Amino acid sequence: MRSSHACVRLALLHRPGRGSSPNHPGDPAGTGGRGAGVPARRRAPLVTRSSPVSRRTLFTSESVTEGHPDKMADQISDSILDAIFTEDPEARIACETLVTTGQVMVAGEISTSTWVDINDTVRSRILEIGYNSAEMGFDGHTCGVSIAIDQQSADIAGGVDTALEVRKTGAAEDPYATLGAGDQGMMFGYASDETEELMPLPIHLAHRMAERLTAVRKSGQVPYLRPDGKTQVTCVYEDGRPVAIDTVVLSTQHKDGIDLETLLRPDIEEHVIRPLLPEDIDTEDVRIIVNPTGKFVLGGPHADAGLTGRKIIVDTYGGMARHGGGAFSGKDPSKVDRSAAYATRWVAKNIVSAGLASRCELQVAYAIGVANPVSLMLETFGTEEADPEQILKGVREVFDLRPAAIIDALDLRKPGYAECAAYGHFGRTGPRFTWERIDRADALKAAIGA
């Protein structure tokens, strides 16, 4: 059954069922802008979701490399989390990082039974990224590291350790009833069948190009590259489906003295961009723009200060789905900003994999210190193959979205988060990406009789 625009909201407490233990804008909005100095040529028209005429639109997403200062900060925060989780998986962690010229500042609230060498963890991550000498603009061997860590607030801990439901009714036999959400807020998960990874194509390609840019640098294939870099991909959509690549923008830090026209730009096009252009959509007229400002020698924290949590759209769906505003890195999974965002991606991916919708977005919201979500909403954008209310009913039956149940189902107390902190948290494979599992699609179909 298809509707023109299906959206189901429930404002009641989410009640776990028999699940195992525990500004999506609709069709992508167009863009008609172009950078100064970039030659003009015919573009897809600028339209919005409400346009009654054209269904041909442009949608753009960006990514950054692990050497981008904001991503450095994310990786440092998650490296500290991983180091603590290796010894104390029950730790409460909220770790923020600032990187700037020659300096790293680590701050936050951490309650743990173990001790880790934060100074060494910070330096190791910076060196692994590739900032290992003054020539790079930042040196993990010699940079200053300042640490200002306190414990988690006892007021917060009391509410999270013993959820409101338990405080009102007494001890519960259900092991998932005790842990309250670490904060209030709303989180979104999204999936689309436009790629094998069930991710939007623009952010998927932007991530893979950023990842490849780092790979050719570290392997020595393009030896004059430096760690900082950004990618951006614009796709042409017709009736909500990607049909062509319109523009690729890539800016990369490089060694001084490199000829941009005869060396850098041809190398980037040959070794990074062209190998990743998909074969099943039109790329014949793709416009490739490399280092449009000219030279990019000064980069990393020496050029721009970086902070944990400033790349939340890069981390998720590239703007194709809405975002609740909370960052992921440096947070243990009692913080639903992280764990519930992972869980809603897991749910959305299983909905699409089950064939119940071609595209869907799920919102969940929590109150601090309360185990059960305060609301759950499903948006299927008119692509559903079953009644959206029945799909949502199946979600409530198959998935337990209380924090402790999410942590258990997705094994979120194991280290490995630093790997997630660059090139996107979604649409990837590996042991840490448990939320990418397609393991409940059949249960969902059975729950709604599909």
- What would the pLDDT profile of 257-287 be if each residue is shown by its tens digit? 999 999 999 999 999 999 999 999 999 999 9
Query: Is residue 174 very low, low, confident or very high in pLDDT (cuts 50, 70, 90)?
Result: confident
Question: How far apart are alpha carbons 246 and 195 in whole angstroms?
Answer: 17
Give the DSSP H or E segment for 236: strand 225-238
List Cα–Cα distances, 134 to 139, 258, 408, in angstroms. 6, 18, 44
Question: Are residues 262 and 348 both part of a single domain?
Answer: no
Q: Higher-confidence residue: 224 or 182?
A: 224
| Catalytic residue set | 68, 70-71, 96, 109, 230, 296, 304-305, 310-311, 331, 335, 337
Report pLDDT digits (tens) over 59-79. 999 999 999 999 999 999 999
Query: Is residue 165 very low, low, confident or very high in pLDDT (cuts 50, 70, 90)?
Result: confident
Residue 125 domain flag: yes
Task: Among 297, 318, 349, identify where a domain stops.
Answer: 297
Question: Are residues 189 and 204 both part of a single domain?
Answer: no
Residue 40 domain flag: no
Number of H helices, E strands in the chain: 11, 14
Q: Is residue 232 predicted with pLDDT exceeding 90?
A: yes
Task: Among 274, 297, 320, identify where a domain stops.
Answer: 297
At 6 the pLDDT is 53
At 211 the pLDDT is 99
Question: Are residues 410 and 394 both part of a single domain?
Answer: yes
Domain count, the chain: 3
At 105 the pLDDT is 99
Residue 317 domain flag: no
Question: Are residues 333 and 444 both part of a single domain?
Answer: yes
Report pLDDT digits (tens) over 332-372. 999 999 999 999 999 999 999 999 999 999 999 999 999 99
Q: Is residue 294 predicted with pLDDT exceeding 70?
A: yes
Residue 108 domain flag: yes
Provide, rounded to the nearest whole percent, the portion of the chain with pLDDT above 70: 88
Question: How far apart are alpha carbons 219 and 267 in whole angstroms?
Answer: 14
Question: Are residues 150 and 252 both part of a single domain?
Answer: no
Question: How far apart are alpha carbons 387 and 399 in whole angstroms?
Answer: 18
Report pLDDT digits (tens) over 87-129. 999 999 999 999 999 999 999 999 999 999 999 999 999 999 9
Question: Are residues 206 and 60 both part of a single domain?
Answer: yes
Question: How far apart are alpha carbons 53 and 128 in whole angstroms?
Answer: 51
Q: Is residue 222 predicted with pLDDT exceeding 90?
A: yes
At 385 the pLDDT is 96
Q: How is residue 264 annotated by DSSP?
A: I
Question: Are residues 190 and 256 both part of a single domain?
Answer: no
Residue 20 domain flag: yes
Structural domain that includes position 79: 69-169
Question: Are residues 370 and 338 both part of a single domain?
Answer: yes
Q: Is residue 26 predicted with pLDDT exceeding 70?
A: no
Question: How far apart are alpha carbons 81 and 102 in whole angstroms?
Answer: 23
Query: Is residue 19 very low, low, confident or very high in pLDDT (cuts 50, 70, 90)?
Result: very low
- Measured over the CA atoms of residue 273, residue 274, residue 275 and residue 280, the dihedral's sign is positive
Task: Among 277, 297, 317, identify where a domain stops.
Answer: 297
At 3 the pLDDT is 45
Q: Is residue 4 predicted with pLDDT exceeding 90?
A: no
At 450 the pLDDT is 75
What is the chain's percent helix, strand, coil content, to nearest 5? 30, 20, 45
Residue 319 domain flag: no
Q: Is residue 32 predicted with pLDDT exceeding 50?
A: no
Mean pLDDT, the chain, rounded, equals 90
Torsion over CA of 428, 431, 433 and 434, rounded to 10 degrees?
130
At 50 the pLDDT is 40
Query: Is residue 170 very low, low, confident or very high in pLDDT (cuts 50, 70, 90)?
Result: confident
Q: Is residue 40 predicted with pLDDT exceeding 50?
A: no
Question: Are residues 218 and 284 both part of a single domain?
Answer: yes
Report pLDDT digits (tens) over 402-427. 999 999 999 999 999 999 999 999 99
- CATH (domain of 434): 3.30.300.10
Query: Is residue 160 very low, low, confident or very high in pLDDT (cuts 50, 70, 90)?
Result: confident
Question: Are residues 279 and 360 both part of a single domain?
Answer: no
Question: How far apart are alpha carbons 369 and 279 in whole angstroms?
Answer: 49
At 173 the pLDDT is 76
Please name the amino acid found at residue 122.
V
Residue 34 domain flag: no
Question: Are residues 336 and 444 both part of a single domain?
Answer: yes
Whether residue 104 contacts residue 147, with contact meaning beta carbons closer than 8 Å, is answered with: no
Residue 383 domain flag: yes
Q: Higher-confidence residue: 251 or 20?
A: 251
At 20 the pLDDT is 38
Q: Is residue 44 predicted with pLDDT exceeding 70?
A: no
Give the DSSP H or E segment for 215: helix 201-219
Give this prediction's pTM: 0.88
Question: Are residues 122 and 140 both part of a single domain?
Answer: yes
